Chains A and B, each alone.
Chain A
Amino acid sequence: MATQVTTDLRGTRQGSQWARTASVLQRQGVLIVLLAVFVLGVLRYGENFYSSFNLWELLRNNAYFGLIALGMTFVIMTGGIDLSVGSVVAMSAVVAARLSPDGIYVATAGAVLAGLAAGLINGGIIARFRVQPFIVTLAMLLAARGMALILSDNATYPVDFRSSFIDIGQREIGPVPLPVVIVIIAYLLGSIVLNFTRFGRHVLAMGGNEEAARLAGLPIWRVILGVYAISGALAGLAGAILAALSYSASPISAVGWELSAIAAVVVGGTLLTGGLGSVGTTLVGVLLIGLIFNVLNFERGRGTFELNVYWENVIRGVFLLVVIILQSRLARRSLGQR
């Protein structure tokens, strides 16, 4: 074969300068913004802002978002969506509260299993009947909320605060709160699963081109079942932490959390259409959203503006939309308008 051809084959598509910039922004942008917001906060609010208490508090209070966002990352990478996580958190929190007298292991395991069950039902139905994920998980959103209300008798269920269960939310290992440790371990495991197991690669392959994945003989249904099971189980764990942190489980808590999780995933650069994403940047996305609301709290504290708590939801909604629009534009540029 001619050497000429050999040289020709080295060529790859050269993106424009802008395309490359867009690609970097899409992948690293969130980290840059996170640092910028942090620096801004430090400059504006000084010591209060970066004092250890506030930062660890920020991490602790975002631990449950971190967990459900991790599960959501896997689901979205397959091109799916899990709208049920908020309700599953509430249901699992009630389960954990009911089991709290039996100690940390039983209560936590109970919550995780409750979440896992919900996730398996979601994934099973989606894989078996090929129904749109948003419909299936929307139904689960309703069903899990109902289960939460039934299990708690439509009242806030108190956690047994003498029980070791409280530790899951309150204990600290050195200076680090246990929920934060759990989140860090979960993300490490998630990253390993995504990058070093067939399951993880198949999640991305399926989201990138389901038909190609099918033709390659990948076990599509196992991938679907897997991601929803992970999402459900992590929502269960988040429920346990929520119950322990608030000493009680309210059946009407965690409303709309699925949107916060989706926002974090998208902010983190994972494509909503699936196929492209990373676990680490989702965590950065969670922290960024948490930080932004922290900044808003500081501003409110300084009396810059009067902000009704309900406005937070409006801001979250607008923020999510803005981010998705920005991200899809960046993605289109970096992929060369394909």
Chain B
Amino acid sequence: MTDTVPDRDLLLRMEEITKGFPGVIALAGAQLRVARGEVHALVGQNGAGKSTLMKILNGAYRRDGGTIVFDGQPVDFHSTQQAQASGVSTIFQEINLVPYRSVAENIFLGREPRRLGFIDWPRMNQQAREILEGLNVHVDVRQPLMNLNVALQQMVAIARAVSFETKLVIMDEPTSSLDEREVETLFSVIRGLKASGVSVIFITHRLDELYVVCDRVTIMRDGRTVDERPMGEIGKLELVARMLGKELGEVRRAGATGFAERGRQATDHPLLEAEGLTRGRALQGADVTVRPGEIVGLAGLLGSGRTEVARAVFGADQIEDGEIRYQGQRRRFRSPAEAIRAGIGFSSEDRKVDGIIPHLSVRENLTLAALPVLSRAGVVDRERQREIVDRFIDRLGIKTAGPEQKIRELSGGNQQKVLLARWLCLNPKLLILDEPTRGIDVGAKAEIQRLIDELADDGLGVLMISSEIEELTEGSDRVVVLRDGKTVAEIDHDAINQDTIMTAMAHGDSEPAVQPEP
């Protein structure tokens, strides 16, 4: 790692930071060094440890090991308040302010100026106005916060942070809910902060933004810091490669996953054709087509709209514009129930949050979606249920003590198989899998991948969202790449490799760039 900044100019030095949670190592020696008055980008895949590192810095978590030197002093913050008092403020992804209260109140919450024990409203409003004007924001500070648009609310959060004599502001995905003009506004405020000597740690998944506003970048992967560079010295493609841990032009290896060689001819009649899906800022014209017997990989960085495409197709979110044709007919599912009746299954990204019901048995979890089919007049036909459960436990090789075992006692891979079975027992025509192998050990992973393969061979159309490049290169017949809610590339089987996918994710087309962008 290159030392790009001399030690004496550093405001923050975090070294060899480790942190474990029960069963997981979140940080295994992370490093972060931020100079005074710089805007420092922190990037990495989901689960790379960025958020954990920031929570350790702002006192929300305690570290297991490592040192933190802030402003020349070794520090160990016990709470966010303590960090704030020492000059570290955090602007959270979800704006942590009180919507119904006025702008001024939000800035001074907990430190309201008082006279004779009563709140001094004129002074509070005056001071709030001055702080905001210092950020070049001109709003009526007496109006409720919720009257402001998201960008301005973010400015208020920043104003609050600045009012604490902040030396370092952490911004975790501050632009995720802003439109382009609002982002510009935020950037001008960030430049203002920088000019006044305040340092900013900027976390985003939008690569373009890094180059606009950041001076240097720290790249994290698997709980470690893998690189630290001046922003101008690393191109987008290299940045993505470092985040994913791949070498540029790395040869495609065979057999890293459980997928067999793909690329069979699918039938000509598309099962699903979605065109121009639009919803808010998350989806801005996404297209995807799936034919029966085909595995279509959906690639893109976090926040590119992958899950949103799946939710829109499945009827979980309503699209504002665009067209969905299913089995040749124009359809717009108003609810997941409608989509399920039409033969679509959706296995979601987060098994624990919206997949399994931990305290129920394998049997109950497996047949959850099939209950309407299995019951007559509201009474579940236990015999048929039992039969289906036994069949799928056998077919998918689910390792369980029996159908009545609680699903939470199963391993991650087996839980995932139960969830797959939940959809398969409905005989779906289209199966949407969001990160089907996340958090599953290697052996089970290959098994699930083989299973997906077989299902496609049997004629099932599969739309597979994955952050793992190998899963996409080896498992897909085609790969659709999303970027900022738009489909930017559709890569045919013969052209699928890590370079084409990564290039499309970074630049928006699948032609490898000749030179890295500045």
Listed in ascending order, the chain A residues whose CB lies under 8 Å from chain B are 1-2, 5-6, 8-13, 192, 195-198, 201-202, 204-205, 208-209, 211-213, 215-218, 275-276, 335, 338
Contact yes or no, A9 B136, CB < 8 A: yes
Say yes or no: A218-B109 contact (C-beta < 8 A), given A197-B118, A204-B101, A275-B99. Answer: yes
- List 12 interface pairs A-B (beta carbons < 8 Å), by A numbering: A1-B188, A6-B138, A8-B181, A9-B155, A10-B138, A12-B143, A12-B148, A197-B118, A208-B99, A209-B98, A215-B96, A275-B101
Number of A-B contacts defined by CB within 8 Å: 91
Chain B positions within 8 Å of A212 at CB level: 96-98, 109
- A276-B100, A338-B146 known; A9-B185 Cβ under 8 A: yes
Query: In the complex the two chains form, is A208's CB within 8 Å of B110's CB?
Result: no
Residues on B with C-beta less than 8 A from A215 are 80, 96
Contacts of A202 in B (CB 8 A): 110
A2:B188 contact, CB within 8 angstroms: yes
Q: How far is the CA of A218 from the CA of B106 in the complex (A)?
A: 12
Listed residue (A1, A10, A215, A338) with the most chain B CB atoms within 10 angstroms of its CB:
A215
Q: Closest approach, in angstroms, between the C-beta of B92 and any C-beta of chain A? A: 8
Cβ contact within 8 Å between B100 and A201? no
Q: Which residue of B lies closest to A271 (CB)?
A: B100
Residues of A within 8 A of B146 (CB): 335, 338
Q: Which residues of B pack against A, CB within 8 Å?
A: 80-81, 84, 96-101, 105, 109-110, 112, 114, 117-119, 121, 136-140, 143, 146-149, 152, 155, 181, 184-185, 188, 191-192
Cα distance A294–B37 in the bound complex, in angstroms: 69
Contact B100 A204, beta carbon cutoff 8 Å = yes
Which residues of chain A have C-beta atoms less than 8 A from B114's C-beta? 198
Tell me whether A211 and B149 are in contact (CB under 8 A): no
A196-B118, A197-B119 given; A9·B112 CB < 8 A: no
Within the complex, what minimum Cβ distance (angstroms) separates B118 from chain A? 4
Chain B residues whose CB sits within 8 angstroms of the CB of A211 once the complex forms? 96
Q: Give the nearest-CB partner of A276 in chain B.
A: B100
Q: With A198-B119, A218-B109 as given contacts, are A9 and B152 in contact (CB-CB < 8 Å)?
A: yes
Could you tell me if B147 and A201 are in contact, using CB atoms closer than 8 angstroms?
no
- B117, B139, B184: the one contacting A10 at CB < 8 Å is B139
Question: In the assembled complex, which residues on chain B have CB atoms less than 8 Å from the CB atom of A198?
Answer: 112, 114, 119
Residue of B nearest to A204 (CB): B101
Q: A213 — which chain B residues lie within 8 A by C-beta?
A: 98, 109
Specify the chain B residue showing the minimal Cβ separation from A192: B118
Tell me, rounded to whole Å, the shortest Cβ–Cβ distance linking A210 to chain B: 9
Task: Flag if B98 contacts A13 (CB, 8 Å).
Answer: no
A76 to B184 CA separation, bound complex (whole angstroms): 40
Given contacts A201-B101, A201-B112, contact A13 B147 (CB under 8 A): yes
Give bound CA distance, A192 to B117, whole Å.
12
Q: How far is the CA of A204 from the CA of B101 in the complex (A)?
A: 8
